[in-house]
Chains A and B, each alone.
Chain A
Amino acid sequence: MRVMAQVSMIMALDKCLGCHTCSVTCKQAWTNRAGTEYVWFNNVETRPGLGYPKRYEDQEKWKGGWTLNKKGRLELKAGNRFKKLFTIFASPIQPQMTDYYEPWTYDYQNLISAPLGDDFPVAKPKSLITGEDTAIDWSANWDDDLGGTYVTGNEDPIVQKIRQESEEKIKFEFEQTFMFYLPRICEHCLNPSCMASCPSGAIYKRTEDGIVLVDQDRCRGWRQCITGCPYKKIYFNHKSGKAEKCTFCYPRLEHGIPTVCAETCVGRMRYIGIFLYDADRVTEAASVENDQDLYEAQLDIMLDPFDPEVIREAKKQGIQQSWIEAAQKSPVYKLAKEWKIALPLHPEYRTMPMVWYVPPLSPIIDLLKEQGHDAESQENLFGAIDSLRIPVEYLAELFTAGDTKIVVDVLKKLAAMRAYMRDITLGGVGKEEIAEAVGMTGEQIYEMYRLMAISKYNERYVIPRAHMEDAHNLEEIGCSLEGDGGPGMLYDDAFSGTGARPNPVSAGSYANTARADGKVNIFMWDGNGRPDAMFPNTAGSTRAK
């Protein structure tokens, strides 16, 4: 047994409002840079829907994740190492800008500079790639709230799959359909196929907390990780020519505070905590033959943080006491392992994803309400869960490789919680038989309700700080505060400097072609603009942009 710690997130989908606050704050924090205009480390998809990038779940096309080869061993779906190297000169499977969208801005200048006339001036959309006029025809959430789903909804790979199996049409007429939101970040997988695909070995998993990062200095732009990740959560920065991904806000986490998306979540639907898991059994768990057994296998390698043997082994591996305590208080452990109401997204990709989801009961509640039924009665809810095949099958395709039984069990627990709490709220006592019907006790149901519904900040986020023996590493964060051209922007001198390589990913390594002293480093110059230091301007212009 090799015990390792993993930070993990759980999203309770019933509580997502679809407000996109998480996406926006994440973008402001991480991807408001040139080359990352189209990059959404956090995106919120309306399901049914195509997702972002379009139809990323269609692995027959995109070849993300792992499969089992003839010998029953894990192999990258996109091919073995030789195949990858022989086809490196142009990646055979690579999402294009058209699979995401062409980023744009608006020509606001026209609003104030247009000459006086009869027509109202407009701010025309301009492509951020070519600078020319552009037509906007897709975005990261084009089919938000089922917008246009009557046209595109049938292209949802999961809808297609269910339809194939049941020969039934999922209806996309308003009022007859169901809908929920699926916020997505990188899964910080235990068995990441992005990492396995990287020819340079630039992607790594941190031993301390399991966060998966791209070393911006070692990435050479081969882009195999983008093919490799089945969730398409590695993006290509088309300006810097390097791969980028969600960082799990590691600078914040190291200080014991949650990610930006979780911190700003309006629905308070995110939970962050620690898992202890057995790293020696990851490959074995990811290689079980039947897709539908992957969820159980994944759950199996999550270790009990109260087990004395686990604690002993964890200490032997150098995991600190504070981390073990955090694992014992971990909300994600409770939701995923104790109550088994959180499920991994697409376990069949075999990457062992570490962002889990509590599936939404709301599509079923909504359908009950629409038909005028009491959506809080246990019988109604259980009956609906058993009979409403399509939402359940859809959820099963997302979270359990199609095993509806697991999804039904989870939904019934959520339904039981609802029914149980109604009695209490109305001044009565909770009925123990409701809890028993889903294999729990009333006490457990109540605790589950507390965590799901009314828990406070420090119950939702149990994040141990990074150990301060390593504190000097955290100083790196400081330089992101130093602005362009500030004193922090001086470069190490190549020959006289220490020549030490910078930390793997550097949040603070912003740069600018112009140096603090006004000179221009010619190799940093991207060929655009007219830096004064290179083209002295007698007309007195300002410094290069």
Chain B
Amino acid sequence: MNILDTFLWGVLPYMVIVILIGGTIWRYKYDQFGWTTRSSQFYESKILKIASPLFHYGLVGVLGGHIVGLMIPASWTAALGITDEMYHAGALIMGIPFGLAVLFGLIVMIFRRRTNKSVFAATTISDKIMYVSLMAVIVFGIGVTIFSAMQGHHGHNYRADISPWFRSLFLFQPEVGLMRDIPFTFKMHILLAFALFALWPFTRLVHAFTAPIHYLFRPYIVYRSRGGEKVGRRRGWDPVGTSDNSSNLK
């Protein structure tokens, strides 16, 4: 076990978690005004209406798959009488469609961003960085899934190393040794995900943290009193003539 392994699998994950949680709290306190989906549907709707639900619903499935794969020990599923073969077949049958939905959705969304002039003009550097890292994570994620599907049960059994390592992180006893010999593609998928998580609080992806589930429970009409809250000075609207309009005339 060399120093690099210890850093990558024993130290880096905690750094990422600190950035993710700390950054999110910081942004929540500091930049409520910038906390939005930054929807681009105003400019273009037809493509978005297909691509965005495809991508997001795919994500829900992928997220579910990750939770099951990483959090549930193999011994538990075995105790339920699910063999490894059954498990992996299930994972592929569920995983590949969801994964492809995400990938396809994202490709279409990026295509739309690039080709629709209005949408492209509204794309910030932060968006671009976010898209590159998101795409990279997804490509490697789909890659390892399809790759192991082709290898059948000779494929890498991540439930024997990555999953226990992942769980060990939460016990603050990272079992770094487990990660040394996993295939390169898996390593890339995980490291790129680290990068994405570290960027998360500083991009538009924060919108995922305020998914409005409470809508189901609140009254329709909201009354609020005029005042009482202290006034702070924050980021706000941009004055006219700022970069997005008159100064970028071509």
Q: Are A130 and B117 in contact (CB-based, < 8 A)?
A: yes
For A494, the chain B residues whose CB sits under 8 A away are 26, 29-30
Q: Which of B34, B224, B229, B247 contacts A523 (CB 8 A)?
A: B34
Q: Which of A35, A491, A503 contacts B238 (CB 8 A)?
A: A35
Contacts A107-B249, A494-B30 given: A90-B224 contact, CB under 8 Å?
Answer: no
Q: Does A524 contact B (CB under 8 A)?
A: yes
Q: Which residue of B lies closest to A124 (CB)?
A: B249
For A208, the chain B residues whose CB sits under 8 A away are 225-226
User: A476-513 toward B: CB 8 Å interface, digit per residue (1/0)?
Assistant: 10010000100011111011011111111010111110
Q: Does B5 contact A (CB under 8 A)?
A: no
For A219, the chain B residues whose CB sits under 8 A away are 36
User: Do most interface residues of chain A lie in helix, strand or loop, or is the interface mixed?
Assistant: loop
Contacts A131-B250, A492-B233 given: A527-B124 contact, CB under 8 Å?
Answer: yes
Q: Which residue of A lies closest to B231 (CB)?
A: A476
A91 to B56, CA, bound (A): 13
Q: Are B234 and A492 in contact (CB-based, < 8 A)?
A: yes
Q: Does B246 contact A (CB under 8 A)?
A: yes
Q: Which of B13-21, B165-173, B215-223 contacts its partner?
A: B215-223
Residues of B201-250 at the interface with A, using a CB-CB cut-off of 8 Å, are 202, 207, 210, 212-216, 218, 220-250
Q: Which of B42-50, B65-73, B139-147, B182-190 contacts its partner?
A: B42-50
Distance between A84 CB and nearest chain B CB, rounded to angstroms: 7
Residues of A58-96 at the interface with B, using a CB-CB cut-off of 8 Å, are 81-82, 84-85, 87-92, 94, 96
For B207, the chain A residues whose CB sits under 8 A away are 220-221
Distance between B28 CB and nearest chain A CB, rounded to angstroms: 9
User: A276-294 toward B: CB 8 Å interface, digit per residue (1/0)?
Assistant: 0000001000000000000
Q: Does A207 contact B (CB under 8 A)?
A: yes
Contacts A82-B216, A509-B235, A527-B124 given: A499-B225 contact, CB under 8 Å?
Answer: no
For A529, the chain B residues whose CB sits under 8 A away are 243, 247
User: A511-528 toward B: CB 8 Å interface, digit per residue (1/0)?
Assistant: 110000000000110111
For A245, the chain B residues whose CB sits under 8 A away are none
Q: Which residue of B lies closest to A126 (CB)?
A: B249
Q: Which of B37, B51, B226, B238 contacts A220 (CB 8 A)?
A: B37
Contacts A92-B49, A491-B235, A509-B235 given: A201-B214 contact, CB under 8 Å?
Answer: yes
Q: Are B212 and A33 in contact (CB-based, < 8 A)?
A: no
Q: Which residue of B lies closest to A472 (CB)?
A: B227
For B51, the chain A residues whose CB sits under 8 A away are 90
Q: Does B118 contact A (CB under 8 A)?
A: yes
Q: Are A240 and B36 in contact (CB-based, < 8 A)?
A: yes
Contacts A494-B30, A510-B239 given: A488-B233 contact, CB under 8 Å?
Answer: yes
A256 to B235, CA, bound (A): 29
Q: Are A497 and B222 in contact (CB-based, < 8 A)?
A: no
Q: Are B232 and A545 in contact (CB-based, < 8 A)?
A: no
Q: Are B215 and A199 in contact (CB-based, < 8 A)?
A: yes
For B221, the chain A residues whose CB sits under 8 A away are 191-192, 195-196, 205, 282
Residues of A185-232 at the interface with B, using a CB-CB cut-off of 8 Å, are 191-192, 195-196, 198-201, 203-209, 216-223
Q: Which of A223, A473, A509 contacts B41 (CB 8 A)?
A: A223
Q: Are A241 and B39 in contact (CB-based, < 8 A)?
A: yes
Q: Does A128 contact B (CB under 8 A)?
A: yes
Contacts A195-B222, A502-B232 given: A528-B215 contact, CB under 8 Å?
Answer: no
Distance between B134 CB and nearest chain A CB, rounded to angstroms: 15
Distance between A244 CB and nearest chain B CB, rounded to angstroms: 9
Q: Are B234 and A34 in contact (CB-based, < 8 A)?
A: no
For B38, the chain A residues whose CB sits under 8 A away are 221, 241
Distance between A348 CB and nearest chain B CB, rounded to angstroms: 19
Q: Are B242 and A498 in contact (CB-based, < 8 A)?
A: no
Q: Does B31 contact A (CB under 8 A)?
A: yes
Distance between B217 CB and nearest chain A CB, rounded to angstroms: 9
Distance between B220 CB and nearest chain A CB, rounded to angstroms: 4
Q: Does A132 contact B (CB under 8 A)?
A: yes
For A237, the chain B residues whose CB sits under 8 A away are 237
Distance between B115 CB and nearest chain A CB, rounded to angstroms: 12
Q: Are A473 and B228 in contact (CB-based, < 8 A)?
A: yes
For A528, the chain B residues whose CB sits under 8 A away are 243-244, 248
Distance between B227 CB and nearest chain A CB, rounded to angstroms: 3
Q: Does B64 contact A (CB under 8 A)?
A: no
Q: Are B36 and A89 in contact (CB-based, < 8 A)?
A: no
Q: Are B215 and A217 in contact (CB-based, < 8 A)?
A: no
Q: Does A233 contact B (CB under 8 A)?
A: no
Q: Which of A220, A475, A509, A524 contacts B35 (CB 8 A)?
A: A220
Distance between A515 CB and nearest chain B CB, rounded to angstroms: 11
Q: Does A418 contact B (CB under 8 A)?
A: no
Q: Are B234 and A207 in contact (CB-based, < 8 A)?
A: no
Q: Are B232 and A498 in contact (CB-based, < 8 A)?
A: yes
Q: Does A152 contact B (CB under 8 A)?
A: no
Q: Which residue of A lies closest to B31 (CB)?
A: A523
Question: Given contacts A34-B240, A85-B213, A130-B118, could you give 20 more A-B pairs where the C-beta distance is less than 8 Å?
Answer: A33-B240, A87-B53, A90-B52, A90-B53, A107-B249, A129-B121, A131-B250, A199-B212, A220-B207, A221-B37, A238-B40, A240-B238, A241-B36, A466-B226, A473-B227, A494-B29, A502-B231, A503-B231, A504-B224, A511-B237
Listed A/B pairs (6) with beta-carbon separation below 8 Å: A103-B245, A129-B118, A206-B223, A206-B225, A238-B122, A511-B236
The 8 A-B residue pairs with the shortest CB-CB distance in the complex, in nearest-first order:
A509-B236, A199-B212, A528-B243, A473-B227, A221-B36, A217-B32, A527-B125, A241-B36
